[in-house]
Amino acid sequence: MVDFTTTYEPTPDEVARALGQGVRQQLKIAYLVLPSVLIVSGLVCVLVDALYMGAVMLLVAVVFPLALTWSIRRTGRRRLTYLCVPTTLRLTDDGYEARSDHFTTTMQWSLFGRIVTGPEFWLFFVNKQFTGFLPRRALSGEQQAEFDDFLASRQNTRVA
């Protein structure tokens, strides 16, 4: 049974890393497929003597992931004042509640289509859309283990 409350304050670097990881998970196909298609198309253009078009496609294939990463960080920086505040979190078997001076969020575990457990964060997804994160450091080592076990049992139940 999961039922604990903790207070933490995400750091700006932590928020940037979590957003980067979450959005990369969400846009994994775009990160892989679009540059790959551009590289192949660019090479084909070069082979058929459309050098300018080929060079542009190859350049865009290199710049696209960098531009997307920059865009994610920029979006994250805009949200820092909203996210980098003392937050009280309550995790239960039913869901979680996060409270700060700026927001209150309550979510049922059943709403999440996927929860990615990583070494630094739990990343939450609703309909393949990255919706939030929880830094592992917000919980004690014992609570982290209990929460990981809880998530694993929920996933096994969902599969069965």
Domain ranges of the chain: 3-10+83-159, 23-78
Q: Is the pLDDT of residue 13 over 70?
A: yes
Its sign, for the CA torsion 12, 17, 18, 24, is positive
Q: What is the pLDDT of residues 36-68, one digit of tens each?
A: 888 888 888 888 988 888 888 888 888 887 887
Query: Pick the residue with more confidence: 108 or 31?
Result: 108
How would CATH label the architecture of 3-10+83-159?
Roll (2.30)
Model pTM score: 0.71
Look at residue 158 in the predicted model and tell me its pLDDT.
Answer: 46
pLDDT at 157: 47
